[in-house]
Amino acid sequence: MKLDLPDAETLYHHFFTGWIPPEDPRPAHLRSDLEQIELTPGEHIRVLSPLTDEGRQQMDAQIKRTTQAALADIPHLLQREDAPSLEWLDGLENYLTPERIQELLRASNPEKMDNPYFVLCCETGALIGHLLQQQWPRLQWLGDFPYFESSLFDLNAKVRFPVFHWAVKCLSGDERHPLKQKIKASIDYLRGD
Q: What tens digit of pLDDT does each residue of 57-89 get?
A: 999 999 999 999 999 999 999 999 999 999 999
Task: DSSP letter for 62, please.
Answer: H
Taking the model in full, what pTM does it have?
0.94
* Domain count for the chain: 1
Neighbours of 53 (CB within 10 A): 8
Task: DSSP letter for 68, please.
Answer: H
Task: Give residue 124's pLDDT.
Answer: 98
Residue 17 lies in a domain: no
Residue 72 lies in a domain: yes
Residue 85 lies in a domain: yes
Residue 166 lies in a domain: yes
Q: Which domain holds residue 162?
A: 51-191
CA angle 106, 129, 6 (to 5 degrees): 25
Task: DSSP letter for 163, please.
Answer: H
CA angle 30, 32, 38 (to 5 degrees): 115
Percent helix / strand / coil, the chain, rounded to 5: 55, 5, 40
For residues 74 and 158, what is the distance between their CA atoms, to the nearest angstrom? 31
Task: Give residue 2's pLDDT.
Answer: 61
Residue 183 lies in a domain: yes
In the chain, the DSSP E strands lie at 35-36, 140-142, 151-154, 159-161
Residue 35 lies in a domain: no
- Structure confidence at residue 187 as a pLDDT band (50, 70, 90): very high
Residue 77 lies in a domain: yes
Query: What percent of the chain is predicted at pLDDT more than 70?
Result: 96
